[in-house]
Structure 1
Amino acid sequence: MRKMAMILAATLFTLSSVPAFAQTTSDQKDECLLASKNCMDQVDDIRNRIHKLNKEIKKGNRVYSPQELKKLQDKLRETSEILRTLEKPDS
């Protein structure tokens, strides 16, 4: 009985993780960066956000439309400007 319960629990755990794994494929749009959707409690620092934006922009037209790429580039420019502002010494 215990063995069957353990097998059932392991199967349920494996099946429940499949949708989460499917969200992280490399040829998929990052809706959180693009339109603040599906963020699931993501909190990034500025440098991490810049890295993610660069990574998404490199995917290019095989994943994103030209309008979406422009939106990502605008967000990258805005985030980089915020970082420069924060790094300026007060003078």
Structure 2
Amino acid sequence: MSRFVLIIPFGALSLMLAACSSFPWLTKEEPAATSAPTAKNRCLLESEDCPPRKMTITELIAGLKHEIARGEAVYTPAELQKLENKLRDYEVMYDRLMYGNDD
């Protein structure tokens, strides 16, 4: 009987943990600082406050596209132009690495 009583709470606990990981909306998480609508991604914009792990070129391209899509609600026109220039440079670099294009 005592063995049965111990198994049920652990089974219920494992089901609750599985439910939380399967349904992320069940857990309340605070949004990251960069996900705020007005927060600028200083790592992509000015190479400041970057995480210790370096991003891959595909992550850089995706991040730049995301930040450019946020538009003038977050960035000034000069900053958007800077991000677009970086995106173009990384896309050229990616093409050269992947396809050997020298455009």
CA distance in structure 2 between the partners assigned to 1:83 and 1:22 by the alignment: 29
Q: Which residue of 1 aligns with 2:95?
A: 84
Match of 1:60 among 57, 71, 81: 71
Q: 1:24 to 1:89 in 2, by over 3 A?
A: closer
Q: Which residue of 1 aligns with 2:5?
A: none
Match of 1:26 among 21, 28, 36: 36
Consecutive unaligned residues in structure 2, runs of 5 or more: 1-29
Could you list the structure 1 runs, at least 4 aligned residues long, displaced by more than 6 angstroms after superposition.
none
- Which structure has more RCO (C-alpha within 8 Å, separation ≥ 6)? 1
Identity of aligned residues (%): 35
CA distance in structure 2 between the partners assigned to 1:47 and 1:22 by the alignment: 21
Consecutive unaligned residues in structure 1, runs of 5 or more: 1-17
Q: 1:79 to 1:22 in 2, by over 3 A?
A: same
Calculate the TM-score normalised by the size of structure 2: 0.62
Give the partner amino acid of 1:24: T
